Structure 1
């Protein structure tokens, strides 16, 4: 038994569907006509799904799967599950992002093939910047492209180093000018004098008076003295974290460069304070003694960033270096029990002082980073992976193959700033 929809009916239905897809709106009559034709065809589909046809060879072959479900139905169900995995707002954001990307490609006559090239994405970010859009909007649009690439199982160009740095540049370039005027002493007196009128009690007026006076004379923002979340019974006065960065000449060079940057030595992380301690040629074996001397003169740190080990590789065995790391961590935690230790990954080199075997030295470097990061994470600290330096690239280093170039130092500082911000604000364990 064979059930078919007449060819004329199929042709009429296809034309009607094509017309409906082009239109933005449908009249009630058009919608009723479409529904009726689809309903008619669905009768035949149900009938087909219940029968078994006979092939020309005379053997019976099922047109459906053993479970009684068409392959098309499986694909449809897979699409539904993928669609349900996204929240409604996320779905809308992805649709808008892809529409803007398509608009950009049409405007400049670019290919609509997927995956898009890195050059297309780079130009798209530049186009968004010229449209005066924020970096958050750019990130949202790039997320839609990345999600679509993952669905198609193709290479994601949005993860390219240049693309991420351009978005970071948008964030720093699009800072809005603060037009608010500062609170003067006379203005403060005027505000305090009116509190008895606007407050519900004498206690409330005194409370706000104390808060405003503290904020004014302590140079604090209201957000720094207010309760950040509901349900907290105590107000915590946030005066910033103290961060030590201890390391060799890489840290010393980074500190010199940081002072010349607009962000300054604190890497634009105020009110947090960074205390840079970089010493040329510093080794893990010497770091314990150096730390003990710093502990006698420096303020108690909340974070200690360790960028050590590069000068030890090839000179000592990995077993000895692991013992030195364990001993250093114990010493730090015995003096500052609540401090969070951050292990900053040792960078690659093209020239190692104690060995000419570059392959073996790079393997040893990765193993040392693995041990240092695992120890830091195990005691509640963090890992700064410095993934931009995953392998040696000449333009990021000086001619000696050890110290960073101007570009390499800028990237190192940007990564340090981003990592510390995530560690402090979000307690993220690892920054890549």
Structure 2
């Protein structure tokens, strides 16, 4: 499910100009890009009015998001769509309050790097195994708190939120044996969520025309 809250008049109509969509995050994006290569639509997920650039970094922590966004801003000031799928690897490493404070600060700063950008927050997906977790149930509660509060924050800034509802709950059948990464079926569902989120962002950015 994708949720957004934007004043349509805020976004300019870019005609036939191709918009760049950057996806940055941890290994879920790394493997999603590889899965996309063998699906209809390929790595561009079937979009014709947008060019998708994947930056999936295995083991990525949230603190790496801001430097990646800075590097992107040096290459493309906008208009663009920026999809972020990160912070899942930080739940076992950082205090919850510190993590959310950092995330909100970075998201606010990222918006200032670009002339025009639609931010898409891809929520953290539950895992069967949380590496380094002393109390997996506590990590699951932390995941839900981060998703709820960061999603609310992103929507307040006019961004798009991807909820990945089909990956919630008991998702063991959608995970690899390691209990951390999505299997092929899980990746297909994840990619569908990304596609919906990007479509919504492009719809907002282009003034109301679908780009699929």
Please confirm whether the aligned pair reaches a TM-score higher than 0.5, indicating the same fold: yes
What is the CA distance between 1:426 and its match in structure 2?
A: 6.0
What is residue 333 of structure 1 aligned with on the other side? Answer: 111
Asked whether 1:383 is paired with 2:161, we answer yes
Change (3 A) 1:391 1:341: same
What is the alpha-carbon distance in structure 2 between the residues aligned to residue 343 and residue 254 of structure 1? 16
What is residue 305 of structure 1 aligned with on the other side? Answer: 83
What is the CA distance between 1:358 and its match in structure 2?
A: 1.9
TM superposition score normalised by structure 2: 0.84
TM superposition score normalised by structure 1: 0.43
Higher share in helix? 1
What is the CA distance between 1:338 and its match in structure 2?
A: 2.4
**Structure number with bigger Rg:** 1
The aligned length equals 194
Give the gaps of 5 or more residues in structure 2: 1-12
What is the alpha-carbon distance in structure 2 between the residues aligned to residue 321 and residue 418 of structure 1? 27
What is the alpha-carbon distance in structure 1 between the residues aligned to residue 74 and residue 98 of structure 2? 27
What is residue 254 of structure 1 aligned with on the other side? Answer: 32
Conservation of the 8 A alpha-carbon contact between 2:81 and 2:198: no
What is residue 224 of structure 1 aligned with on the other side? Answer: none
What is residue 370 of structure 1 aligned with on the other side? Answer: 148
What is the alpha-carbon distance in structure 2 between the residues aligned to residue 399 and residue 299 of structure 1? 41
Per-residue CA distance 1:92-132 (angstroms, 9 max, x = gap) = xxxxxxxxxxxxxxxxxxxxxxxxxxxxxxxxxxxxxxxxx
Conservation of the 8 A alpha-carbon contact between 1:244 and 1:301: no
Asked whether 1:350 is paired with 2:128, we answer yes
What is the CA distance between 1:337 and its match in structure 2?
A: 4.5
Asked whether 1:406 is paired with 2:184, we answer yes
What is residue 9 of structure 2 aligned with on the other side? Answer: none
What is residue 317 of structure 1 aligned with on the other side? Answer: 95
RMSD over aligned Cα atoms: 2.0
Conservation of the 8 A alpha-carbon contact between 2:160 and 2:197: no
What is the CA distance between 1:419 and its match in structure 2?
A: 2.6
Change (3 A) 1:326 1:396: same
Q: After superposition, where does 1:160-179 map in structure 2 within 5 Å?
A: none
Per-residue CA distance 1:237-291 (angstroms, 9 max, x = gap) = 3223221111000001001111121211111111211111100011111211222
Conservation of the 8 A alpha-carbon contact between 2:167 and 2:189: no
Larger relative contact order (CA 8 Å, sep ≥ 6): 2
Q: After superposition, where does 1:4-403 map in structure 2 within 5 Å?
A: 237-298=15-76, 300-403=78-181
What is the CA distance between 1:387 and its match in structure 2?
A: 0.7
Change (3 A) 1:298 1:422: closer
Higher share in strand? 2
What is the CA distance between 1:301 and its match in structure 2?
A: 4.8
